[in-house]
Amino acid sequence: MSPKSTRLQGRTTLVTGSTGGLGVAIAKALAAEGAFVVVSGRNKERGDVVVAEIRAAGGRAEFVAADLGAGADEVRRLAREAAAAAGGQIDILVNNAAVWGMPEPTAEVSERVLLESYRANVIAPFLLTGELAAAMAERGTGAVVNIGSINGLIGGDQSALYSSTKAAVHSLTKSWAVEYGPRGVRVNAVAPGPIATERVVDIADELAPVLARIPSRRMSTPEEVAAAVVFLAADDAANIHGAVLSVDGGWAAV
């Protein structure tokens, strides 16, 4: 078997948080376009399954374990080892891994959770981009796709922490587009609304009132969000810099 398309043939990608949820669909979609994919997360067992599934579908992938909450040395090690696993360089970085949980009143968010969220959602993408986009810029070509959220665009009751990390991701996307764009590196973001991943399907009842008032009246599938990531990573988006593309069934428009 071979990949379904050659749109990303010869490109190498790192997808953080691709051992579960949306990241799996992104890794598979990039591999299906011919890219070599470095799958990453903390859980090697789940990572190995994703790699095996990509290979079974005719794609190319390797797993590199990393804990993005463990500090700068660990994030930089991921950057080095991912590039080595991909044959020397990463052409496309997808900053997808993030910590999210149920809404919580601001006063009840512990310092531990606050720091854990900022480490995984903001500081790790910041450091990874600093390593990998800088190397792309030296080569004069590359793409970064950040996964933001509808929560970074609108306010949410009891979601100040998560929403603020995602607003930071959107802001970083624009600043990095300005910083790296002139040297051939495009930086964009996808801002999903609710995605029908395993964890979200479990809380579908709580989302029902929201879904009832958005234009599409439904969640996105992981594949629909992954398609937007592929679009922004590929040459189809050659002159798109600093965009935050909503894939949210129209929620941001309501």
Site of interaction with ligand NAP (CB under 6 A): 17-23, 41-43, 46, 66-69, 96-100, 120, 147, 149, 192, 194-195, 197, 199-200
How far, in Å, are 204, 218, 219, 254 from residue 212 at the CA level? 12, 8, 10, 12
In the complex, least distance from residue 10 CB atom to ligand NAP, rounded to whole angstroms: 26
Q: Is 162 a catalytic residue?
A: yes
Q: What three-state secondary structure class fits 251?
A: helix
In the complex, least distance from residue 174 CB atom to ligand NAP, rounded to whole angstroms: 17
Closest-approach residue to ligand NAP (CB): 21
**Token representation of residue 52:** 């095996």
In the complex, least distance from residue 115 CB atom to ligand NAP, rounded to whole angstroms: 12
Whether 185 contacts 143, CB under 8 Å: yes
Nearer to ligand NAP, 137 or 196 (CB): 196
In the complex, least distance from residue 89 CB atom to ligand NAP, rounded to whole angstroms: 21
Nearer to ligand NAP, 27 or 86 (CB): 27
Q: What three-state secondary structure class fits 136?
A: helix
How far, in Å, are 109, 150, 163 from residue 158 at the CA level? 10, 15, 9
Q: What angle do CA 135, 224, 118 make, to 5 degrees?
A: 50
Active-site entry in 162, 176, 180, 251:
162
Tell me, rounded to whole angstroms, the distance of Cα 248 from its chain centroid.
15
Q: What three-state secondary structure class fits 216?
A: coil
Pairing of strands 12-15, 60-65: unpaired
Nearer to ligand NAP, 34 or 192 (CB): 192
In the complex, least distance from residue 41 CB atom to ligand NAP, rounded to whole angstroms: 3
User: How many H-runs (helices) and E-runs (strands) does the chain carry?
Assistant: 9, 7
Which residues carry out catalysis? 162
